[in-house]
Amino acid sequence: MSLQDKVAIVTGGSRGIGRAIALALAGAGAKVAFCHNGDPAAAGTLAEINQLSTGMERTADVADEAAIAGLFDAVDAALGPVDILVNNAGILRESPLAQTDVAEFDRVIAVNLRGTFLASREFVRRTDAGRIINIASDLGILGRQDMAAYTASKGAIIALTRTLALELAPGILVNAIAPGSIETDMTSPAHMSPEQLARDMASPLARFGQPEDIAAMALFLAGPGAGFVTGQCFGVNGGSVMY
């Protein structure tokens, strides 16, 4: 139980990659709070966390400054001071540049990038020790047609990771994970075109990863084995990007 007595927040932890990370941290003994955007799956995920450890869930928009402060206040009161922050909440919108309106562009940046900034800032205002793990994307490195806002937000998260690693050392270690295509709601045919899904299969392993593949890396980065690791971006991507 390498994370016994630690307290973690996972943004966007109700389903998909965030859920798998929340369960992995709880399985290692951490108390785990997660927020979501009103997802009906949240109650089931909370029950799973509570079978392993102690959990809490809250609807909170990561793009909203007051909502993030309220989330940290509630977690402090219920579980104690936060040791581990996983900035996972994210949205993807697929549209050609010419058809992308300003509101759509701004919303993707607000959830993915401003959300990571707001939660990291709230964390840092309350502690000078711990771990921040940011969920970026291989597309933030590779680029991808018809995903301008998404890829820009994810590239910026990798840059932000490096800056925060410099600024918050030595007490807080900050790393990113850049997943390749992972089988979740975000990559379901309801949310991605067949052309994009075909591009996702172009990596050497030519298949989707599972949320647990990302959770394994997050668990390592949250734990004692990663004490000399900061400012890095880890590709868990089936070989789509090779560093």
Ligand X SMILES: NC(=O)c1ccc[n+]([C@@H]2O[C@H](COP(=O)([O-])OP(=O)(O)OC[C@H]3O[C@@H](n4cnc5c(N)ncnc54)[C@H](O)[C@@H]3O)[C@@H](O)[C@H]2O)c1
Interface positions with ligand X (CB under 6 A) = 11-18, 35-37, 39, 61-63, 88-92, 111, 135, 137, 179, 181-182, 184-187
**Two tokens at 181?**
């295509």
Choose between 107 and 162: whose C-beta lies nearer to ligand X: 107
- Inter-CA distances, 224 with 44, 51, 85, 243, Å: 29, 24, 15, 24
- Respond yes or no: is residue 150 known to be catalytic: yes
Q: Are 121 and 69 in contact (CB under 8 A)?
A: no
- We find the least distance from the C-beta atom of residue 126 to ligand X, in angstroms, to be 19
- CB-based burial, 136-164: b 16+ in 10 Å, e otherwise: bbbbbbbebebbbbbbbbbbbbbebbbeb
Q: 75: closest CA among 117, 67, 130?
A: 67
Q: Are 175 and 227 in contact (CB under 8 A)?
A: no
Burial class (CB in 10 A: 0-12, 13-18, 19+), 171: exposed
Q: Which is nearer to ligand X, 102 or 190 (CB)?
A: 190
Catalytic choice (34, 72, 105, 150):
150
Cα 93 from Cα 91, distance rounded (Å): 7
Q: How far is the CB of 119 from ligand X (least distance, A)?
A: 10
Q: Would you put residue 59 in left (φ > 0), alpha (ψ -120 to 50) or beta?
A: beta
Residue 96 Cβ vs ligand X, minimum distance, rounded to whole Å: 20
- Write down the least CB distance from residue 210 to ligand X, Å: 10
Catalytic residue list: 150
